[in-house]
Structure 1
Amino acid sequence: MSSIAATETTIATPQTKVIQPAWVRVMHWINAVAMILMIMSGWQIYNASPLFDFRFDRSITLGGWLGGALLWHFAAMWLLMLNGLAYLVTGLATGRFRRKLLPVSPAAVIADVKAALTFKLSHGDLTVYNAVQKLLYLGIILVGIVVVLSGLSIWKPVQLHWLVMLFGDYPAARYVHFVCMALICAFLVIHILLALLVPKSLRAMIIGR
């Protein structure tokens, strides 16, 4: 009798696999908000001294003017740096990065790109990243580190002159910062499109399952 009851309880309350742990979900959304704030305020800062022959429309910028944009940018910078550092440390300490992002090989990336282009790339198991996802996530982590370092060199070029020299000079650091921003924007577009194509991945990042 007890075994039947236990079986019925098991059937009624099946175990649900946690795809995204709570710390990943919280840090993911904090990073997303910080990135959007930095990008929009960064566009307003760019408009004050553009590198190229174009400016961003004011409707997609944040801050209203240079001083306001700088305040937003610095506030979001600290949020992104602290949360990003916590994410890196936790990801390394828990072994999540090693399990999720390694190994990755050129052959696997090429094979998965071909599968994606022919709509044959499987999305059944959300706990396992394909080679393209691994490459994108590793790449955005690297870009995130470079954008922070280039941003610091632009912010404090005198105090951090040694950091500026790593990029060549101050103007070069600005170009590196802009390119990193463009890469992050491209990543966000791809990331959002993939989430829309595979809605259960978005659900997992919200509720974990």
Structure 2
Amino acid sequence: MSSTTISEQAGAAGVSSAAKVIQPAWVRIMHWINAAAMIAMIMSGWQIYNASPLFDFQFSRNITLGGWLGGGLLWHFAAMWVLVINGVLYVALGFATGRFRRKLWPISPRGVISDLGKALTFRLSHADLSVYNYVQRLLYAGILLVGVLIVLSGLSIWKPVQFQALTALFGGYDTARYVHFAAMTAICAFLVVHILLALLVPKSLRAMIIGR
């Protein structure tokens, strides 16, 4: 084999390797902004919850943010604007670039059941990180819907008079608080699963940091 051929093959391999971008830059940047804002909102939300608990328990002060009700509210509203603006841009770009269509569609009950069975028996392949399995598609699509729900219920709690029609849609202020709490719980559960998957498949975390 000539040196020219070897050089051409090496160059082609280099181009192929460089072109294998699993997570583009805008996804990585918005992902980490979302992660930071979401953690701040959850921890400050727990501080707000402690001031008027819905259930017979409170969150430890060690995992809350703000120190007191007023501080928790300040952190919550500050993180809210970051999360909403970044989230809206993320969803808009997801649809505009076709990423959601490629990554999250189609979703079928048979595919979800099959991939869930493989995941539970540790037979689910993660060889190609550019393709989401059916369980991932369901989780990511679901968390987008939960994100919409938590924003709407949050608005109902924040401005129940100004958004009285929205608050009424949730069944009133008190019910909106329960919906908001349930949505927060779903997001926390998603984060636990998300982090566990990143630990089980370290290259997926690497891809979210360097893109490849």
TM range (shorter): over 0.9
**Cα deviations by residue, 1:139-198 (Å, 9 ceiling, x for unpaired):** 000000000000011000001101101101000000000000000000000000000000
Aligned to 2:145, the other structure's residue is in SS state helix
One-letter code of the match for 1:202? L
Matches within 5 A, 1:180-199: 180-199=183-202
Aligned to 1:15, the other structure's residue is in SS state helix
State whether structure 2 residue 65 is matched by structure 1 residue 62. yes
% identity of equivalent residues: 71
How far apart in 1 are the matches of 2:123 and 2:3? 46
Matches within 5 A, 1:30-179: 30-179=33-182
How far apart in 2 are the matches of 1:122 and 1:9? 28
State whether structure 2 residue 16 is matched by structure 1 residue 15. yes
One-letter code of the match for 1:10? G
Return closer, same or farther for 1:86/1:11 CA change in 2, 3 Å cut-off: closer
The count of residues paired between Structure 1 and Structure 2 equals 209
How far apart in 1 are the matches of 2:59 and 2:40? 15
How far apart in 1 are the matches of 2:130 and 2:5? 32
How far apart in 2 are the matches of 1:12 and 1:80? 39
Instruction: Report the TM-score when normalising by structure 2.
Output: 0.95
Query: For the aligned residues, what is the CA RMSD?
Result: 1.4
One-letter code of the match for 1:58? R
Residue 49 of structure 1: how far off its partner (Å): 0.2
How far apart in 1 are the matches of 2:122 and 2:10? 40
Residue 15 of structure 1: how far off its partner (Å): 2.8
One-letter code of the match for 2:114? A
**Cα deviations by residue, 1:74-128 (Å, 9 ceiling, x for unpaired):** 0000000000000000000000000100000001000011111111100000000
How far apart in 1 are the matches of 2:107 and 2:161? 40
Gaps (5+ residues) in structure 2?
none
How far apart in 2 are the matches of 1:171 and 1:116? 38
Gaps (5+ residues) in structure 1?
none
How far apart in 1 are the matches of 2:174 and 2:139? 28
How far apart in 2 are the matches of 1:8 and 1:140? 43
One-letter code of the match for 1:84? G
